[in-house]
């Protein structure tokens, strides 16, 4: 994504943020998270801790979800969809249906998926060094950069027409913080994305619950 495109995407995101509150929840932990493996778009299920994290986030959202109508949307990867089902039940709203949107899939790590960063460095030292120089724009072999992911997410944001709650992935949260909150692209890929917290984007600020 060049500077002009990035600026346009960020502007579009901020316009959405000015009129639509957005709740973001990252899926709960998987065994690959625990092993620090690059999951990307591999369909790895939640583990026991991940299910407890989803329950915790549902309890944290009970009051918010009871107070109004929220459009619920999840990534199609099973770890996100299961997180959504668990948190809605824990929030006392198992009756709420939710949409599945492939736009919310995680950033793809391509040929690196399933590897730890240490394994990547052994197999593709040049690629690992290139990624460290520019994590936002680097494209893994057969994969996707944060910059490319931001293009698809920015277009999706423009389709939102009311309060929305999404369950997706760490890479998507980093992109949203860039598009909606103005987090610089060189900082966004380094941001920690907890699995036991809820992120609320409002007109004026970003809150963690």
- Which residues are designated catalytic? 27, 106
Which residue, 82, 77, 126, is CA-closest to 106? Answer: 77
The residues near 196 (Cβ < 8 Å, ≥ 6 apart) are: 28, 53, 56, 57
107/115 Cα distance (integer angstroms)? 15
Q: How far is CA 29 from CA 77, 94, 149, in A?
A: 13, 21, 22
Residue 176, helix vs strand vs coil: helix
């Amino acid at each position: 994504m060049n500077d002009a495109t990035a600026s346009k995407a960020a502007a579009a995101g901020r316009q959405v943020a000015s009129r639509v509150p957005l709740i973001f929840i990252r899926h709960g932990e998987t065994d690959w998270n625990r092993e620090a493996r690059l999951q990307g778009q591999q369909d790895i299920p939640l583990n026991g801790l991940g299910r407890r994290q989803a329950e915790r986030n549902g309890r944290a959202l009970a009051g918010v979800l009871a107070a109004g109508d929220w459009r619920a949307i999840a990534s199609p990867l099973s770890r996100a969809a299961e997180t959504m089902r668990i948190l809605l039940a824990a929030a006392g709203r198992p009756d709420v249906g939710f949409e599945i949107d492939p736009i919310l899939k995680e950033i793809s790590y391509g040929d690196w998926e399933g590897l730890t960063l240490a394994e990547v460095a052994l197999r593709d030292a040049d690629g690992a060094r290139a990624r460290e120089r520019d994590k936002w724009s680097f494209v893994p072999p057969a994969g996707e950069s944060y910059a490319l992911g931001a293009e698809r997410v920015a277009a999706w944001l423009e389709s939102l027409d009311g309060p929305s709650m999404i369950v997706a992935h760490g890479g998507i949260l980093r992109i949203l913080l860039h598009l909606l909150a103005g987090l610089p692209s060189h900082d966004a890929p380094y941001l920690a994305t907890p699995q036991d917290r809820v992120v609320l984007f409002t007109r004026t600020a970003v809150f963690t619950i």
